[in-house]
Amino acid sequence: TLSVVRMQLTVLTYNVWNVMFHWHLRYLWIQQLIRAEAPDVVALQEFRVDAVGFPGQAGTPTEPLLVSLLKSTHPWFEYVTMPGEQEGLAVFSKYPVLRTETAHMNAVGGEDPLTRMALCVYVNHTGDPEYPGGRTLLVVDTHFSYDKFAQCYNAAFLRQLLFKVDVDLPLFVMGDFNVYKDFEEPMRFLTTGEPGGCAHATMGASPSQVALTDSWTALEQTHPEEYGGENGLTFSNMPHPGLQSRSDRTLSRHAVPVTSKVLGDGANYRDTFLHFILWWRARILLFGSTGYPTSTCGTCGPQGECICNVCVSHQFADAAGGIVDRMRRSCVAPNETGASSYAALLVAGIIMGLMCVAVVTAVVVRCVARTRRKFYLLAWFLVCVAVWVTSATFFLYPVVVVAASGALQEEFYPSDHRAVVTTYELM
């Protein structure tokens, strides 16, 4: 008997996190990650079309950096920005794009002010002998709300949208679904049509004919050791480091997942770029603005809030109390990882060091010169000055409190949001 050789398609989805956390380094990291996997189609979320080239970088003043780097391997590129925002969705393809459609996934209620979208790209998959002229595939890139209530509406809207698609068309839905480990209902609703905890968002008619396969879940059923447990986690749910949920997924119809893996270990990023990050911090401190695109922290997820453009956990904000209130009043909204944050951190570090020196001096003088009153008084005067200046520092530079709490450590682990690459056999 002759075995049937099915054509394969490799897709990759990645939330590139806007232009936060040293974009001038991260875009190189992202490009290396994508090229190493050589996917046929790439779906990106939080893509900034205004993140263009600057002196010393690839690209031009009018072309997004990642487009410049990927156009040699993925010449077809489509994108859409969210209304009123600079970020949006992007799809890169090795195969010709036939047409593109966009749709707004309006939500009812919830705390998320953003209008979520879906980018639908029809791709002509060439090379299949059964389809000499190419085979049309539909790739949908999306980014769900972080609000659980609104996620259900996102899922319902997307199901309505997919119901209108030709049932025989191979379909791939990729993106950042902002899934919580304790709230899978939106994904269950999206893939099976069973509302469960999303009954409020059925919109009166959720078509049951739409059925999608969660690729990682399907592979976990056949290969539990490789795909089970925490192997598929991709996001920290902010602002705490450490993977907690499987937010980034690939769903399919008329395609069988063969392999899938999570990419972008933050430790590797840190080891590769640590000295560049330290140097860039010093450069920002000394010379101020970098000339590269910057952004506010925007939304900090359900576990945090944005204060002075730094994501802070609700737990820390509650514990800090009055300090956080002063931050809200005194913050002039410095750019993320800006000179003011680093300057404050540096000043606090110097003062802390002086305080330690003063304390050590006081102890030494007290022990060595017990009868020499003037040295004893001098030592304690230094201690009092150090304590007073330190208190003033925390009052005048409230961002230091956030930095000291670990908020800036995400700079070393921006890949706490990871990519997922999946290879399919087309049916």
Q: Is 414 helix (H, G, I), strand (E, B) or coil?
A: helix
Lowest mean pLDDT among 23-32, 92-101, 177-186, 386-395: 386-395
Average pLDDT over residues 362-371: 63
What residue has token string 């590269």? 292
| Residue 103 vs residue 196, higher pLDDT | 103
Does residue 347 carry a pLDDT above 80?
no
pLDDT at residue 57, rounded to an integer: 45
Query: Cα separation of 381 and 363, whole Å?
Result: 13
What is 107-157 written as a DSSP string? -SSSS--S-EEEEEEEEEE---TT-TT-EEEEEEEEE--SSHHHHHHHHHH
Answer whether 299's CB lies under 8 Å from 290's CB.
Answer: no
Phi, then psi, of 103 in degrees rounded to 5: -145, 140
Question: Residue 201 gets which letter from DSSP?
Answer: G
Q: How confident is the model at residue 290 (pLDDT cuts 50, 70, 90)?
A: very low
C-alpha 263/C-alpha 38 separation (Å) is 13
Q: Which of 235, 58, 61, 40 is nearest to 146 (CA)?
A: 235
Q: Average pLDDT for residues 166-194, to the nearest whole number?
A: 89
- Could you report the per-residue pLDDT of 235-270, keeping only the tens digit for each? 875 555 567 788 999 999 999 999 999 988 766 676
Residues 273, 25: Cα–Cα separation, whole Å: 7
Q: Enter the tokens of residue 279.
A: 């140097």
Q: Out of 50-54, 199-203, 212-216, 253-257, which region has the weakest mean confidence (pLDDT)?
A: 50-54
Place of tokens 């003063």: 358
Is residue 360 within a helix (H) or strand (E), and if so which, with residue range? helix 339-368
What are 105-142's pLDDT values in tens digits? 876 667 787 889 999 999 999 877 788 888 999 999 99
312 pLDDT band (50/70/90 cuts)?
A: low
Q: What is the CA radius of gyration of the chain?
A: 26
User: Which pLDDT score is estimated for 374?
Assistant: 59
First to last CA, the chain: 19
What is the average pLDDT across 273-281? 68
Residue 413 has pLDDT above 60, yes or no: no
pLDDT of residue 115: 84
CA distance 319 to 248: 32
Task: Match 């520092």 to its residue by tokens.
Answer: 393
